[in-house]
Amino acid sequence: MLEVSARQSSGCIRKDGCARIPKLSHLKALDRKLFNYYYYQLRHDLLQSKIPEIEYDEYKNKILGYVVNDMYRKMVEDGVSVADLKRTYEDYIPRKINKEHSLLFFNWARTKVFNSLNKISNREHDVDYVKTVYIDDIDNLAPGYLYEEYNGHIPYPEEDGHLKPGKCRVKIKFVPYAQPLSKPAKGGGGNGSKKGAPKDESEEQPGLKVFYSREWRHVANIDEIFTILVDNLTVNISIQDQSNLYSIDFGSQTELDSFVTCLAGYYRLMCKWTVYLCKPYLYSPSLNRLTDIKCHGPIGTITTPYELVEHVGHASSLTVSQGLVH
């Protein structure tokens, strides 16, 4: 988990409030409560049609499969009978389907879900397995979920050697991990393009990106960012091998703080945990504490004996060593 910076509002839950791990179902091994919390957040967002990458017209069979999974999870987790689940069927249907589709279509979907539920009702899957399948499948279908997007203005990018004066409106996001392009759903009834969100043809390339001229453009990898400077509502990013700062204008303090916290937090997680990119504008309470007590990262095995000899007998000087397992 990445801590919330001291300037970040504590009154809301943001998508980047925790670090995204490569495989989200692994949360179960790291933190069981967080695994369950994430599952129910994902379920809520699917029911409320808040995942733009999952459009019903394109992925109808997938979504009906998630409905069956959710009902089966309820049966296993809470001991609810199949008959009771059928009576409360509408509680498991995404709201958008309820509002936008005809009664005839709704009845067809209900029949399809009930038939599938009857087929799997006697299987003996544990609830963790059911939740893991749900999480992993949606993560594969909507890899951009949890990647918070920001709105901002940047100087016009150079096009074919020409630089246009002024600034343009862009979307900004940070993708921490390389991911394969999501596969089109079988029987989805679509042509493979997502209508709800801009297509990112370079999802396999992680890093800071901006959406301009109908495509996502790579700006920098996280380890290429040296520092972040803030001037009112403008963020200036120093990037390796670039002589000029990369400037982004934000429309609000909240969005600026959210963006800076996201980049600075992932830099600590993925590059140098003792470095905060935007100090002193945003600071990390725990990092300040670790700095005050002169805590540092791992040291080599050659250095360790000399450190022990040099500081032997000194109060509050400790070296923690992990032995090799043969």
CA dihedral 174→178→183→185, nearest 10 degrees, is -50
CB contact at 8 A, 68 and 120: yes
CA dihedral 23→276→291→12, nearest 10 degrees, is -70
Q: Supply 211's token pair.
A: 């959406």
Tell me the domain boundaries of the chain.
21-141, 150-292
Which position has the higher pLDDT, 144 or 314? 144
- Tens of pLDDT, residues 85-142: 999 988 998 877 655 555 556 677 888 899 999 898 888 899 999 999 999 999 888 8
Residue 321 pLDDT level (bands cut at 50, 70, 90): low
- Tens of pLDDT, residues 255-270: 999 999 999 989 988 8
Contacts of 209 (CB under 8 A, 6+ apart): 172, 173, 174, 175, 200, 202, 216, 217, 218, 219
Which position has the higher pLDDT, 108 or 79? 79
Q: What is the pLDDT of residue 71?
A: 94
Q: CATH classification of 150-292, choosing from 1.10.3720.10, 3.30.420.40, 2.30.29.30, 2.40.30.10? A: 2.30.29.30
Contacts of 248 (CB under 8 A, 6+ apart): 152, 153, 154, 172, 234, 235, 237, 259
Q: In this model, does residue 11 exceed pLDDT 50?
A: no
Contacts of 111 (CB under 8 A, 6+ apart): none
Q: What is the pLDDT of residue 252?
A: 96
